[in-house]
């Protein structure tokens, strides 16, 4: 599973849990939080999020570097004497 697929899977599973929670009827907050915790307290998910974060940072830095104008030399000051 790719990092994107791992994150999407976790979000969709959590969304399902939250959708069940907001349905009319009795609610069990502790059980809902436990079920969400099982989804998000996962080393593979954490690794996938870290990979995606690093990819985002790398893309942002590359984009910023591409947008920078080329370096120019400082103006030359000449004194007359």
Predicted confidence (pLDDT) per residue in 38-80, tens digit: 999 999 999 999 999 988 887 777 777 676 666 676 666 666 6
pTM of the predicted structure, to 2 decimals = 0.68
Per-residue exposure over 29-56, b if at least 16 CB sit within 10 Å of its own CB, e if not: eeeeeebbeebeeeeebeebbeeeeeee
Q: How far is CA 71 from the centre of its chain?
A: 32
Task: Round to whole Å and give the CA distance between 5 and 18.
Answer: 20
Q: How far is CA 55 from the centre of its chain?
A: 9
Tell me which residue of 65, 73, 3 sits closest to 11, measured CA to CA.
Answer: 3
Domain boundaries, the chain: 3-62
């Amino acid at each position: 599973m790719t990092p994107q697929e791992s994150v999407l899977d976790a979000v969709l599973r959590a969304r399902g849990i939250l959708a069940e929670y907001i349905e009319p009827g009795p609610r069990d907050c502790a059980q809902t939080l436990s079920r969400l915790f099982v989804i998000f307290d996962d080393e593979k998910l954490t690794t996938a999020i870290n990979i995606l974060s690093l990819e985002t940072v790398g893309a942002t830095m590359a984009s910023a570097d591409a947008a920078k104008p080329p370096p120019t030399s400082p103006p030359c000051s000449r004194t007359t004497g």
